[in-house]
Amino acid sequence: MLAPETKNPDKGAEKSAQPENVARAGGKKIDSVTLIYVPLHLGGSHRGVSMGPAAMRVAELPESIEALGFKVADEVDIPVPYSVCWWDKQSPAKCVPEIGQVSLDVAAAVEKAMAAGTIPITIGGDHSLAIGSIAGVSNYYRKLNEKWGLFWFDAHGDINTPESSGSGNVHGMPLAVSLGTGDKRLTDLLGYSPKVSPNRSVLIGIRDLDPPERELIDQTGITPFTIRDIDHLGLGRVTDLALGACGSDSTGLHVSFDIDVIDPDVAPGVSTPSRGGLNYRESHLALTLLAETQLIRSIDIVELNPANDIKNSTAKLAVELILSCLGQRIL
Ligand SMILES: [Mn+2]
């Protein structure tokens, strides 16, 4: 049996507590995160997602991050109106003014966290929160005049427009909004659009698309990797190809991870489950490979719905996935 690490002072002295595979800012290893909790349910018709942040706290997210060797520099709770909102005259999309306000708050918190040299981890809540987090990330790099890439993991395209969407739910539109297509009150947040270039954006794990979304993926020019591509090539190869598609000169990567990209047998606590998703190991592998690039600079983890979960198991998995993003290694 191997001796416990505490009985081997040499090993302890050589190894820092913090994993090596972490993002750097200006060549310096980042040693802290900011947790941004967004109990946003207005983008979909599933109120249970508003309990996501609480479930992540119950699953000991802050404690687990600190045990990995990071400081939790700050925990921010973004206020979300809990009233019912609906369509307005300007758009077939629902709750646009309310989501716009939450997006501004999220964008400000994310940008501030990055400027402070921490990794913002935005915890949902439904995927419409990515309109705000990506706006914040975009504004951060824009001021530095640096290039960055977007990794969007999802069972769905999230690339609907108000016109193509059957439901009007904004959580089916945030990728389109970030690429500059959709309700102007959302695309033009912070005064410019698009927030991210399609040439540096990839969509991974898709298997459940609305018919117009196929065309929209084609029109926007984002690089898609379907679940069929993952079956055929393996997730390792797909990740390599995706990194190539994001551009080798990117300073950082934003990971927007919708938990429904994972198979519902493994992650039942989501709003819109879709069979045939990533298995447990694949979901970790994707994030571990990205962590090894030392480029993950900001993270969203979204669509956790504790009302559908079994004994908080999906929240616990989401905590583990964040640790993989932060460079947790087996050896
Ligand atoms: Mn999504």
Q: For 101-116, what is the mean pLDDT? A: 98
What's the mean pLDDT when you consider all of the chain? 92
The question of whether 303 is a catalytic residue gets the answer: yes
Q: Of these residues, 41, 46, 171, 254, which one is catalytic?
A: 171
Indicate the pTM of the whole model: 0.93
**Per-residue confidence (pLDDT) for residue 283, from 0 to 100:** 96
User: How sure is the predictor about 27, in pLDDT bands with cuts at 50, 70 and 90?
Assistant: low
Q: Of these residues, 158, 213, 263, 309, which one is catalytic?
A: 158
Which residues, in sequence order, are CB contacts of 85 under 8 Å at separation 6+?
42, 94, 95, 97, 98
List pLDDT tens digits, range 34-46: 999 999 999 998 8
**Per-residue confidence (pLDDT) for residue 7, from 0 to 100:** 43
Q: Of these residues, 41, 156, 254, 284, which one is catalytic?
A: 156
List pLDDT tens digits, range 139-177: 999 999 999 999 999 999 999 999 999 899 999 999 999
**pLDDT surpassing 50 at residue 9:** no
CA dihedral 295, 300, 301, 304 (to 10 degrees): -170
Of residues 171 and 22, more confidently modeled: 171
Alpha carbon separation from 83 to 43, 47, 86, 185 (Å, rounded): 13, 11, 10, 20
The question of whether 260 is a catalytic residue gets the answer: yes
Of residues 85 and 161, more confidently modeled: 161
CA gap 45, 115 in Å, rounded: 34
Residue 157 C-alpha to ligand 1 middle, in angstroms? 7
What structural domains does the chain harbor?
5-325 (3.40.800.10)
Residue 206 C-alpha to ligand 1 middle, in angstroms? 10
**pLDDT surpassing 50 at residue 69:** yes
Q: For 114-132, what is the mean pLDDT? A: 97
**pLDDT surpassing 50 at residue 221:** yes
User: How sure is the predictor about 18, in pLDDT bands with cuts at 50, 70 and 90?
Assistant: low
The question of whether 154 is a catalytic residue gets the answer: yes
